[in-house]
Structure 1
């Protein structure tokens, strides 16, 4: 089994398991990449989205699929979630990795994310 570091969630509901977070982040566009923790307590998972996604709605469509996936993984109601726009990357974080701070997702994380993708109605390929 490939050691995936991340899942890339597109605004149309397509989701892709990706072995290299930096490859997934290329789908975010030509602007800067913003990164954040999934939750304050979830120090093992981070989110990447274009720095300009929320201020350029004409270029970055709403991503309700990512909102649902992230809310499910974090354990809260999607109605309470922050909006997402454009492609969104959810990835495993390792602060000891000096190259790109990523790590392979654990089996448990993959199970929870797979469940969240199904709940959100995403298609994987």
Structure 2
């Protein structure tokens, strides 16, 4: 199985670890002109918009519970951290610290599950 190809940008929360934009490498035209997007070379499917990508990944790995974890746990913290770090007109260090701390906390939840290699289907 080949890995998915992921396109994102450095200021977005999706995904936060990707440091450089790969948008110039897109092999398809994303109608809305935004990232993230993925290409699955195993099926040929090309997706954009976060929710469509998450739904596709859930269907591939049968792990619906993680959709809700992402939507209610990860996404709000990533979005708020991105706002306060990159776009808020005033530096609010307490907000930055809070959202960074929560990002680390939810990432630790995922890291723990992935290290154990045990996944529960929903």
> Which structure has more helix as a fraction of its residues?
2
Shared fold (TM-score, shorter chain, > 0.5): no
